[in-house]
Structure 1
Amino acid sequence: AGEKKIGVEKLSQLQTDARVTEERNLPQIERNTKQQHSLENILHIYDELKEVENSRLQIKRNFDSSSQNVLRIQQTLNEKKHDLEQVLGLLAQLENAGDLAVNEAQRLLVEQRKRKPLLTDIESQIKNLSEQEKKLSALKDSILRAQMAAHEAEGKHYQLNGAFLSGQAGLLAQEMRKELQTKPETVCPVCGTKHTAADTDAFARWCEDIPTREQVDAAFAAWNAAREQETALKNKYSDQKAAYDNSLQTLLTHSSELLGVSDKDTLWQRTALQLAHQRCDAAIAGYESDYKKAVDDRQKKNNAVQEKMRLEQETERLSTALSLAQEQMQKVSGQKSAADARADEKRRELAGWPAAKQEALAIIADLKKKTEALQEQTDHAKTLYTDYQKKLENIEGRLTNAEAEKLSAVEKVHKAKLDYEAGLVRYGFDNDDVYRSAKSPDGRLLEPDELDRWIRNADRTISDHTMNCLELSTKIKQLEKETINCVKTDLHECKEKIRLMEQNLQAMRNRDKELDAQLRINTTAYKNISIYLKERKRYLAAAEKLKPLSDTANGNYTFSRYVLSGFFRRIIDQANIHLDVMTDGEYSLVPKETGDGRRSVGLDLKIYNSITHQERETASLSGGQLFEASLSLALGLSDIVQMESSSTIQIDSMFIDEGFGSLDISRLDKAIEVLKHLSAGKRQIGIISHVSRLDECLPKKIHVIKRADGRGSEIRIETDE
């Protein structure tokens, strides 16, 4: 306590010394600081004055540069304006040039270039069609030869077949001769004619030179082969003729569009085609020159337009730059005047102060030294007082801490006792004696930390069991939620379904075995039936050969009908020659092999279309087609009659009554061509018709004109002679 009192007295003396020192030095420090601040406040004026002087020099240089820049821009601008005037003059000359002119020239050039291969293609098509005409002509000759061969084969077949049938009649005649030896007369089983002994010699002649069935079949096969060859050639001719007509029509269409020629004979001369080639080549050369010039003009115009745009942009940029440069020069001039004014103002502000900044800085440095020395004295006195005050406070703090540590130790002892008693109660011991009586398994007394570990292990075990119970409870609740909508399966019902399915499976397996056995039986039957069908086909082929003779013997197919059917086939073949010309090979007549119950067997017709390769009934023909077929049959009949009768019968005249009105122009021309061909010989053909087209084509005409008064008619004969 005594030391504390001495310290307080010394601290008071130090405080008094510090206050006296501060009172003595503070006024001088304030005067020095004020003068220093005044000088520091004007230091920036020195810097500003220097900056203004430098700015004045830079502004002068900028003004000179701006003046030169204005002169340079003005000169460049005048040059660009002159160039722009020249470009505008060029654009005026190229006013019509551009994409439209180029596209038009290109379009014309492309059209002519496309026309060139088309002309070449027409020439190639002409050559191709000429070759096709030669092939068609050769094919026509082949058809005529095939028809002649078919006619010869047919004649041979009919000759052999007639001799064969006559021989069959001879066999019947032998039987009748035998009967006449015992009877006065006998009856022919075929025709029912009565014969007497006077016919015996005639029966003997019928048995001479009888051909065999094989010879007749061979002749028939040769005839069929000749007819098939003829039909194949006609079909080929029809196909090639249709292709030729289509190609010719397409060629004439193109020729009419490109050359203005739609006539075949004119086109075949190729004069117009050669002239078109020359004109096309000349046009291509001219259009190529025009196109090249148009492209060059367009390029020149595009370049001129780009140059115009560039010059306009450059002129605009230079005009803008000139305006900016003039504005900049005026602005720099204003900046120069302002800089001069600021420099004069700064000089006035430094009046009464050192002339140079260095002198002001030296005065500021001296004042700083003096002020720092005075401040140092004052601070030293204050430091002595402050340090001693801290030492005194430190001593007081240690005393306070010692007293606090004493009180803390007393409180810790009391708290430890309370914690020990609370621990006995927490762990279930009534007092200290009960706690010490607790022993470890090995007979020693459990220490408090060991007892704590044992208790913690027990608590941990209880906690683990508790967590397992919670997890199991959560799983049970989850499973209850998942199975809440589930239906309990009836195991007995499932077993019953399985049993029924196994029974069905066994039944299906049994059925499979039955079907497999049936399949083997059917396979064997199929093989046997296939063998029987082959045998049946062979027997039917043999029966077909015997059927005509059987029909003749049974009276179902009379001998006269058989002979007529042969002539009818020959008439059809001859008629097809005329029908082929009238229909350009599109249609031909074919005999119908079987009857329909209402007409005579072997004397019915069908129409064959060589384009569709299908047959149809004659009832489906149009009026014009039916007239062509009828006219062909009539002409064919007249041809066969004259062939068979040699010089006995001559059909020199034929009249055709109407029918021509149902034909179109092309079909009518074909029919007239056939009739003219026939009338070129010794035949005379008369036509009764109201068609005006025939009036123009016939050289000799008999006009029957009804009188105006209705009383009869007048006859007027006209000839071209």
Structure 2
Amino acid sequence: MRPLKLILSAFGPYSEKTQLDMTQLGTGGIYLITGDTGAGKTTLFDAITYALYGEASGGSRTTEMLRSKYADAATPTFVELTFLLKGKTYVICRNPEYMRPSKRGAGKETKETAKAELTMPDGGVISGISAVNEKMTELLGIRKEQFTQIAMIPQGDFLKLLLSGTKERAAIFREIFNTRPYLQLQEQLKKEAGTLYNAIKDDEKSIRQYLAEVRCKKESAYADSLENLQKEEVILDTDYCLELIANIMAEDIKIQESVAQKSDDLSAEMAQLDRTLGKQQQREVVEKALEEAKQKTAELGTLASRLKIEYEQAEKLQENNNILTAQIEAEQLALPGYEKLEFILNETGQKKQQLEKEEHLLEKSRQEAQKMKLQREKYQQQLAGLKDSGAALERTAAQISVNEQQCRKTEVLQEKVTQNKNLINEMYRIQKRYIMAAEQLAQAGSIYEEMEKRYFDEQAGILAQNLREDEACPVCGSLHHPKKAVLHENAPTQQQLKSQKEDYDKKTKIRSELSSEAGLAKGRVQSAYKEMLAQYAALISDTHPTIVAGVQDMSNVSDLSHLSDSEEASQEQMIDVIKQVSYRTQQAAEALADEKQQLMVQKARLEADVALEQKISGQLPECEKRQKELEEEVAERTSRISVLKTEGEALKKQADELKQTLKFENAEAARQSIAQKVRQKEEIQQRAKQAGQQYQDCKIKLEAEQRRVLDLTTQLKSGEEDKENNESNESGKKYGELLTLRQEKEVCQKQYQNEKKELDLRIAVNERAAGAVKKIAAKSSEKEKQYQWVRALSNTANGALSGQDRIMLETYVQTAFFDRIIIRANTRFMQMTSGQFELVRAKTADNLRAQSGLELNVIDHYNGSIRSVKSLSGGESFKASLAMALGLSDEIQSQTGGIQIDTMFIDEGFGSLDENSLEQAIDVLLRLSESNRLVGIISHVGELKERIGRQIVVTKTPDGGSHARIVADN
């Protein structure tokens, strides 16, 4: 993917429409994005990432922040990117959600919804955020997170790819190299093993549940064994469980047979007793029934006599029904007159209600008409007072806009003051480190000189020990040695002297480096100081009345501006000037803030007045119209009331005349009288019918009881012989004694039955438990075999083997890609470090409990050590990160049908490199032109500005926004 043209409109600091023809930058090599601090260099990266994915490149900027606060309200916000992918040209345009002026009313705002549109090479258009996002991910082959790690590295994110652990790298490689199927296989194996394990545990739980149901007698020889088996901590042995249940069941079956035999014998004895008791009980029942029948016959005879008298009396009352019938007919003929009266009275009531309603509505209409009149007069008065509020609102809004521009100037100047303070502090810190390094170097030099003198003195002493009289000295040739050099007790060894020399050389190098850093820091301070004074001069030259009033005697500081061109401005002078500028700028900011607060209050009041004026202007015609309608309504209701009064009086006169001809007050009273007479007639008829029926029923019951007395008397006489036989049965025992004996045998029989039920239930439960345990155990055995080999596969694939590195199957596959990335990265990393460092994948894990396989180490060829990349210095880490990013990009594009990234973007990082490292990094990036890859760099490093001719220069505009242009110095 290579950008061809980028268009920004009201996006970030770019308040106006900005077009960048990126084809001017070429198709390979590097170009620089440079300009003022805070002008919006990183925003260009945000714009490209937003166009591709709908999100900014950095995590700190959201789409809600993308609308430019410097843009005119009518300027639309959008980003349009034309890019080349695999030889085809695409155009994508997006805009975020933001508030814009409404087209339907002045001063109103409406929400502009977020949109996205992708134009395909064939001219087809895909619209909608979801559809475009899906298509862009399909075209590019990676999501936004992977894109920012291999193609567009935001400020602060450069080290993420280098320092990521196995887990983070695995997530990156999963999408890039499509290793998700291996992860899915791992998870499926782990899930299957877990499912089998849970199934085995469920089977064990089920077996224990069935074992908990097994019962036996407390006196049983197997009771203790069963109690021990039912404990949770006991390891299950299904064969032993089944054998124990079988023994318990056999014991219960033997007891069951004995109880059944005893119960059968007792049942035969109880049957004989029942036959004897039945005969004695039958005679007692007959005697009792005969006595009851005689008593009931007497009662029915008395009742029949009484009912006969009542029946005869009811028959005589039937003669009064003829009189009631005549009265009912006469009253029914008069009912139509009552109905007419009710109609007239109803009409009269309705007329009265209508009259009351109309009178009420008439009064209400009069009140509303008066209210509308007063409201209309009030609206007219208010409109007169709000006549000039619109023009005043426009003037206030213009003043607020000017105020905001001035506030922004003070904010920018305060940021510059803060930057100056930070740079001076940094310069002080480096100067202190330089002074300390110089002192340490002087101390190391003194120590080295002293050690060197003692070392050479010691060498002379050693030589003198071997001199003999009359033998020539190897140094001077003398044959006589009157004063030999002597050995020193604390003389250093050659190795100690060499070590001290290395320490001295190292401190010399450190002092030199800090001297260079101090010079650079001083240059940065002077550059920033000049920029601050320039912005300060621009501020005090402003004629805005609030600034003039807020910054008292600010012009007196203008004479300090000559220091921006002087190299002799001392640090104390600069600090004093910075303090004065900060103080007086704060005065201006506070004055502007106070003015803005007053203007906002005034604006709010005027907006309320304008809204009220518009509201009243719309309501006044409606108020006048409503007043006229109400006045017409009052006249109409007055006429209607007069008609209702006349009609009501006529109806009242008709009702009075009709009432004089009727017996009852109304129809309801007449109907009640008729209904009462009908009920009296029906009651008389019903009473006669009911009395006759009761008398006949009583006669039938009396005859039946008389026949029953005769039958029972005959039955009792025929049973005298049986009574004599019963008195001599069961060895002379009487009925009561036999009944007691029967009850005792029944209690014993119930005990046998309960014992038999308990045995039946226990045998059935134990038999069911044994069958269930046997069935579950058979299935669980097969699951256990399957679980063993599935668990072994899962542990291997998920890197969970005991005592082994935790390398998962997916990670193992990814190591092949990782090794190739490292090889590609080392071709550049070793070049940038002059062969000192080489990246290598860690072969063993530091921690056997964490995921491993994708950790990264570095070989230091100067001392042969292997250590973690996290131990590299800031500059070394930057070079390693750059090499890894380039290696990953190379490997991705080498895959058949893989992702094609022809452009790379880097935001800062070069400031951590020394002069030699910077030269090496630039050389590596310049060689990318051979692979037809274009790399964009954001940096403030001066060497880069001099070395790189192709640039995108971003500058701030007077209104607080930014402007970008391409400088293609090829």
Q: TM-score range with shorter-chain normalisation?
A: 0.3 to 0.5
Larger radius of gyration: 1
Q: Which has the higher contact order (CA 8 A, sep 6+)?
A: 2
| TM superposition score normalised by structure 2 | 0.37
Give 1 or 2: higher helix fraction.
1
